[in-house]
A and B are shown apart, each in its own frame.
Chain A
Amino acid sequence: MFKQAVLPQVTWLKLPEKVKQAGWLNVLGKISLPLIGLCIFLMIWGGVAQNIDTSLGKFPGPTDVWQQAGNLISEHNAERERASAFYERQEKRNQARLEADPSYQPKIRPYTGSPTFFDQIWTSLYTVFVGFVVASVVAIPLGILCGLSQPVYTAVNPLIQLFKPVSPLAWLPLVTMIVSAVYVSENPIFAKSFLTSAFTVALCCLWPTLINTAVGVSSIPSDLVNVSRVLRLNALTHVIKIVLPSSFPMIFTGLRLSLGIGWMVLIAAEMLAQNPGLGKFVWDEFQNGSSESLARIMVAVLVIGMIGFALDRLMLLLQRKISWDKSVVLR
C-alpha cells in the first residue's frame, strides 16, 4: 500500500515541466491571436462602413463610434453636474427661507432630467438581475423536483416544451396588461415598466435552468443514489448532500444560458415596450434620426455585447469559485 502512495506523486512531479515548456507559446498565442482578430475586424468594418450610404448619412466607422462614446460620457457628466447644481440651488433656497421663517418645512424636489446612457445601462443591469434571480428561484427547485420524480416530470414536460420556444415579444403585451391590472398601489416601490421588463425576462430565463436542472438531477449516477439509500438519508439531506453537488455543473450551465437569454430578451423588450433601459436608448436614438444616431446606436450595440460577455464571465468565475470540481475545464 505504500507503493501506491508513492506512484502517483512521481507522475505529478513530471507534469509541471511539460506545462512550462508549452506555456510560453500558449501565453503568446492567447494574447496576440485575439488582438489580430480584433484588428482585422476593425479594418473590415472601417472599409465597409465607408461604402454604405444611409438616409442618416454614412454608416459609422470605428472612429465615429469612438467619438460618440466620448460624447456619451461627457453628456453623462454634464447631466450629473446639472443635477448637483439643481440640488445645490434648492438647498440654498431652503436655507434662505428657513432663516426668514423658522417654522418652514424644507422640501427637496427630485431632479427630473432625461436619463443618460449610463443611467440606462444601470437600469438594464438591475432589471436583468431581478428577472434572472426570480426565474432561478422558481426554476431550480422545480427542476430538482422534476429530476427526482418521474411523474412530476411527465406532468410538467409538455408545459415546458410548449412555453420554451415562445418569444419574449409574445409575452410582453400579456405581462404588461397583467402588471397594470394586478399591481395597483398608492405609492409603488417598483415602476410598472420595471416589473414588466423583469417578468418578461424571468419568463424567458426560466426554461434553460429548469431543463438543465431536471436533466442534471435525473442523471445522478445510480451508485450514488444507492449510497444515499443505504445510508437512509432523508429527502432534504439527500438533496443537499447528493443531488445538488452532483448536478451542480448542469445547473450552472443552465443558469449561464438563462442569463445570456435574459440579457438578449431584455433589450428587445425595452425597445418594444419603451421601458427604460438600453433598449429604449437604442429606440430613442433611432427615432431621433440625427446624423450621429447610428454611431450612438453602434456604441450601445458594443456595450450590450460587452456587458453580455462580462455577465457570462462573471457566472463562470462564480461557478469556478463554488464548484467542488476544480479540474473541470470551464468554457
Chain B
Amino acid sequence: MNKSHLELSQVGMDFPTPNGNFCALENVNLKINEGEFISLIGHSGCGKSTVLNVVAGLLKATKGGVILENKEVDEPGPERAVVFQNHSLLPWLTVYQNVELAVKQTQKKTTKAQRQQWVMHNLELVHMTHAKDKLPSEISGGMKQRVGIARALAMQPKVLLMDEPFGALDALTRAHLQDSVMEIHATLKNTVIMITHDVDEAVLLSDRIVMMTNGPNATIGEILDVNLARPRARIALADDQAYNHCRHAVLQFLYEKQRKVETVNQVNNKKSSIDQQAAELPVKASTDAA
C-alpha cells in the first residue's frame, strides 16, 4: 500500500465567467490509500464539489490531473460512483429498477438471475428491500438517499464519491445513515471521499479529514488524521478525548484560521460575497444539532 491508490496532483480549476476567469482551485495535491475514508470539509463555495467532480470526471481540471490505479481520469465512469446531494434517482423508475439500471450497465456479462441477486444484495446493504417496488416519490428523503447509495455501491466502484450525501436530512435520519455508511464501509472496505459540512460527521466517519481553505484559489489547508479505533460508537465517543481533540482541531481550522472575513478585501467576485453569508449558517446549525 505504499503506492497510492488515488492521487490528485497539482489540480487547478478555472471557470470562465463574463468578467474573466474565476480560479476556483489551485494546487490541490492529495494521495489516498485503498480503503481509506476521506472527508472534505470547508466553507460553502470553497470548491469541495469541484474537487469531487474532477475526481468523478464530470469536470475536467484545467491544470494537473487525477490518477486512479495508475490511469489518468478523463471521463466519468462507474468505477468512480457518485452519490449526489439530492439523491437524483430517476423518478420514473422504481427503487429496484434504479439500482438495476446501474447493475445492467456495469455487469453486462452476468445472467439475469445473478443481476437480480446483486440488486437485492445492495438494497439489503442499505436496508431498503421492503420498498423495492416503490417509486422515489413514494419514499422519504432518507430512504431515497439510501437507494442512491445502493445504486452507487451496485456499480462496485473503486472509489465512492459522496457530495454532502446527508445534507438535506434531519439530524436523526442523518445519524441512522451515518451508522449505515460505517457498517457498509466496514464490510466492503471501499475507498470513499465524502463532502460534508458537519464536523461531527467528518470526525465520526473518516480516517482523514481534508480541510480546504476559502476560495477563490482554494486549496488544501490542513489534513487531520483521525486515529480512532473502529467500530466507532457515537455515544461512547462523545466523552472520548481523542475524538474531542479532532473535533476541536477542525472547528479551530474552520472558525479561526479560515474564518470568513467579512471585509471588502475578498469581494473581487460578487458571488463569493453572497456565499459568505450563506456559509455561516449550515455549519453552525449542524454543530448545534449533533
A residues sitting closer than 8 Å to B (CB atoms) are 1, 3-5, 7-8, 221, 223-224, 226-227, 229-233, 237, 241-242, 245-246, 248, 324-325, 327
Contacts and interface: CB of A to CB of B under 8 A. Distances in A.
B76 interface: yes
Contact of B101 (A8, A231, A324): A231
Contacts of A233: 105
A5 B90 contact: no
A241 B101 contact: yes
B82 A230 contact: yes
Nearest to B77: A232
Contacts of A324: 91-92, 135
A226 B76 contact: yes
23 contacts: A1-B146, A4-B143, A5-B130, A7-B140, A8-B139, A8-B140, A226-B84, A227-B90, A229-B76, A230-B56, A230-B78, A230-B82, A230-B155, A231-B102, A232-B77, A232-B78, A232-B105, A241-B90, A246-B92, A324-B92, A324-B135, A325-B91, A325-B92
Contacts of A229: 57-58, 75-76
Interface residues of B, number: 35
B97 to A, nearest CB: 10
A9 to B, nearest CB: 11
Which label, helix, strand, loop or mixed, suits the secondary structure of the A interface?
helix
A221 B88 contact: yes
Nearest to A223: B88
Contacts of A232: 75-78, 105
A327 B137 contact: yes
B132 interface: no
B176 A1 contact: yes
Nearest to A234: B105
A226 B146 CA distance: 18
B127 A1 contact: yes
A168 B158 CA distance: 59
Nearest to B172: A3
Most buried by A among B75, B90, B137, B172: B90
Given A224-B88, A231-B105, 18 more contacts: A1-B142, A4-B176, A8-B139, A223-B84, A226-B58, A226-B76, A227-B84, A227-B90, A230-B77, A231-B78, A232-B75, A237-B105, A242-B90, A245-B90, A245-B92, A324-B135, A325-B92, A325-B137
